[in-house]
Amino acid sequence: MPFQSAFHQLFTQDATIAAVVFGLVVLVLLTSILLSWWRRRRGCGPSHRAEANKLEISYVALLLGVAIFLMITSVNANSRDFPDPPRPVLRVQVIAYQWCWRFHYEGQPVTVTGQCEGGSLPVLVLPVGRPVELDVTSVDVVHAFWVPYLRAKMYAYPGHTNSLTITLSHAGRWIGRCAQLCGLYHYQMDFYLQAESPAAFSRFLRARGGAPAAMTR
Ligand SMILES: [Cu+2]
């Protein structure tokens, strides 16, 4: 999925810059502590210099340069046009509520939910290699559907549906979370995304009274 690679690129770049800046700050801090300790040992007190204009201006210029670079690359990535996703073979309604999730397979008598509070998390089972549209909504307050593995997040608003088409490349199981503070038990709003081979996915639907033939094309 093209948006995944755009996000991945930007995230890697930003995380690298953040790590370098953090390293520099720690280095300057440690050097200052060591220098001050060294001066005290030699009997000289702290420096009486009140200003270090050149140093401060270079510091501000460096930070400004980094901020401008981050802004330009972010705006560029955001303004990129991505090709329309392929036509989905399956639509799943992702319904968020305080404080768990419900997944309804459209056109099928299949709805999956769980007990986030008790730790039995709902599992969103999807077929590998097939485009699936996730229609994300909420029945109460604003939540956000977030699967870190997918590099994608979608807000779940009450009375509105946000759609996201994904194609999973291989079988696996990944954690998903609510990424919008939505109340007291927000932290419990986790779920699993599980990708199965189309045959296993058909079995999953059939076991719940679904008709998998309706999905394949
Ligand atoms: Cu939440």
Residue 213: how many CA atoms within 13 Å on its side-chain side?
0
Nearest Cα to Cα of residue 12 among 64, 61, 73, 82? 73
pTM of the predicted model, to two decimals? 0.75
Torsional class of 89: left (φ above 0), alpha (ψ -120 to 50), beta (otherwise) = alpha
Tokens coding 185 = 């038990």
In angstroms, how far is the first alpha carbon of the chain from the final one? 21
* Distance from residue 14's CA to the centre of ligand 1 (Å): 25
Per residue in 200-214, pLDDT (tens digit) is: 999 999 998 888 765
Cα–Cα distance list, 187 to 99, 138, 150, 207 (Å):
9, 17, 20, 31
CA of 73 to the centre of ligand 1 (A): 29
pLDDT tens track, the chain, 217 positions = 667 788 888 889 999 999 998 999 999 999 999 998 898 888 887 777 888 899 899 989 998 999 999 999 999 988 888 788 889 999 999 999 999 999 999 988 999 999 998 888 999 999 999 999 999 999 999 999 999 988 888 999 999 999 999 999 999 999 999 999 999 999 999 999 999 999 999 999 999 888 876 554 4
97 CA to middle of ligand 1, Å? 8
Q: How far is the CA of 191 from the centre of ligand 1 (A)?
A: 12
Residue 54 CA: distances (Å) to CA of 22, 27, 59, 60, 61? 22, 19, 9, 10, 10
Distance 187 CA to ligand 1 centre (A): 7
